[in-house]
Structure 1
Amino acid sequence: MLDGNEKRYLLECIESGWISSEGPFIKAFEEKFAARFNRKHAIAVCNGTAALDAAIEALGIGPGDEVIMPSFTIISCVMQIVRNGAKPVLIDADPRTWNMDVSAIEARITPRTKAIMAVHIYGLPVDMDPLLELARKHGLKVLEDAAQMHGQTYKGRACGSLGDISTFSFYPNKHITTGEGGMIVTDSDELAEQCRSLRNLCFKPESRFVHDRLGWNLRMTSMQAALGLAQLERLDEFVARKRRMGALYQQLLGDLEGVQLPQASTDYAESVYWVFGLVLDERLGLTAADAMKRLAAEGIGSRPFFYPMHQQPVLRQMGAIADADRCPVAERLYERGFYIPSGLALTEDQIRTVAATVRRILTL
Structure 2
Amino acid sequence: MKSLIQQWLETHYGIKSDEVMRIGDYSAGIMGDQLYFLIRPIVQSPEEIAELQMIAAHLFSTGDRTVPLLVQTKTGELISQWENDKACVLTYKREKTTSSVRLGRKLAKFHQRGRILSVPIEKVSRLGQWKKIWEKRLDQMENVWKGKLFQQPENEFEKMFLESFPYYMGLAENAIQYLVDTELDEAPTMVDHGTICHERFSATTWGEEKVFKNPFEWVLDHGSRDIAEWTRERYFYNTQTYEPELKQFYIDYQSKTKLSPFSWRLLYARLLFPLHYFECVEEYYVTNSEQTKRMLEEKMQKLLSHSGEYEQFLAKFFSLAEVPVRKLSIPELEWLKRA
TM-score band by shorter chain is under 0.3
Structure with more contact order per residue of length (Cα contacts < 8 Å, sep ≥ 6): 1
User: Which has more helix, going by share of residues?
Assistant: 2
> TM-score with structure 1 length normalisation?
0.20
> TM-score with structure 2 length normalisation?
0.21
